Amino acid sequence: MNIAFLTSQDPLDRKSWSGLYYYMAKTLGRYCGNVTPLGPVNLRQIFLGKILNKLSRLLFNTTYNNSHTLSLARKYARIFQKKLSAEHFDLIFAPSASVEIALLEAEPPIVTFQGSTFAQMDGYYSCFTNFPTRARREGNLVESLAISKSRLALFPSQWAARSAIHDYHADPGKVHVIPYGANLDEPPSREAILAKKKSDRCRLLFLGVEWDRKGGDIAFETLAKLEEMKLPSQLTVCGCVPPKRIAHQNLKVIPFLNKNIPAQRAELHELLLSSDFLLLPTKAECLGIVFCEASAYGLPIITTETGGIPEVVKSGENGYLLPQGAVAADYARVIYEIFWDERRYYELVRSSRAAYQERLNWDAWGRKVRQLLDEIS
């Protein structure tokens, strides 16, 4: 099978869409056929749209819709139709590419993979708030056109899949749920994970690029609460820089680690291996690839029940989900109880790793996608 991997971003860049393009393309190549990337496509309109969005939010407190517009869809349609005509393809695989395919006229069947829908993101993420009515209408139209063109519409969570069916009236028969895998080239062995030991100090890891959306303030307050409870703790923040007001002797900040650089990828490996909990009290999340990666390291996850997270994190299996509105004291209490209960903690380590091996890896994703593609070929 010759597969056109259709995305406007560079699928060879591990930073694009948190590395998902890279690992999807790689997995499709292993399980489904020959994969030809059609991206990246660099349009000046994207850069100008980002500037207009900043100005719109600054001057009018409204969000300029620079990602889901018909004018952008027309440009992408012309570019990708030309690329598709240059070679024979049996299938178009379009991950996170609603605007790229919305107006595309192509013979091969299109399979989409979306982390969420426009309707779900509207008002959920801060960058998707305060849309003018016209922008909201256009964004929903682009999403609807993309879903209608898809032979298969794949999503990583039931949360996202339900929106495709209920908000955009997608045929339930073409909507399927397949969780992401962990973005790891060389995951640690099961033996290494089961052999690791926690120390007397509770080592918390906050891994994310957006301090506010990922619940950074609550994570920091959890550190303070644990120390009040006489549990020596350390919080490592990786991926962002907290506000200046955030300071503590047991707070360590690693602003950014680039997975494209082997040395920094190795540093992230050591960080995941040496931590005791992944603490991410996120306010909004489509799913979070970091949860799959934490499970590969047998790292228990303490996070929020929101968005598509419950598809990956199962309470009592690879972590615990706290309700929206939970405060630092709630997170501290859960961590405290698990950390001092050795049997419970190590059972959670084992079942976290099992969750990765059974369902949160790219081989599991590839086998399921291959099965679905065989059914439509």
Specify burial of residue 267 (Cβ count, 10 A radius: 0-12, 13-18, 19+): middle
DSSP-based helix, strand, coil % in the chain, nearest 5: 45, 15, 40
Report the distance separating Cα 333 and Cα 317, nearest Å.
18
Topology (CATH) of 2-181+361-376: Rossmann fold (3.40.50)
Q: Are 175 and 114 in contact (CB under 8 A)?
A: no
Class of domain 190-358: alpha beta
How distant, in Å, are the alpha carbons of 67, 110, 150, 159, 305 from that of 141? 12, 18, 14, 20, 29
Percent of the chain with pLDDT over 70: 98
Does 55 have pLDDT greater than 80? Answer: no
- Within the chain, strands assigned E span 2-5, 34-37, 91-95, 110-113, 150-155, 175-177, 202-207, 233-238, 251-254, 277-280, 301-304, 319-322
Does 56 have pLDDT greater than 80? Answer: no
| Residue 189 DSSP class | P
- Predicted confidence at residue 199, as pLDDT, reads 84
pTM, whole model, 2 decimals? Answer: 0.93
Domain ranges of the chain: 2-181+361-376, 190-358
- pLDDT tens per residue, range 69-81: 999 999 999 999 9
User: What is the band of 53 on the pLDDT scale with cuts at 50, 70, 90?
Assistant: low
User: What is the band of 54 on the pLDDT scale with cuts at 50, 70, 90?
Assistant: confident
- Asked, colleague to colleague, whether 2-181+361-376 and 190-358 share their fold, the answer is yes
Does 177 have pLDDT greater than 70? Answer: yes
Positive/negative CA dihedral, 94, 95, 99, 102: positive
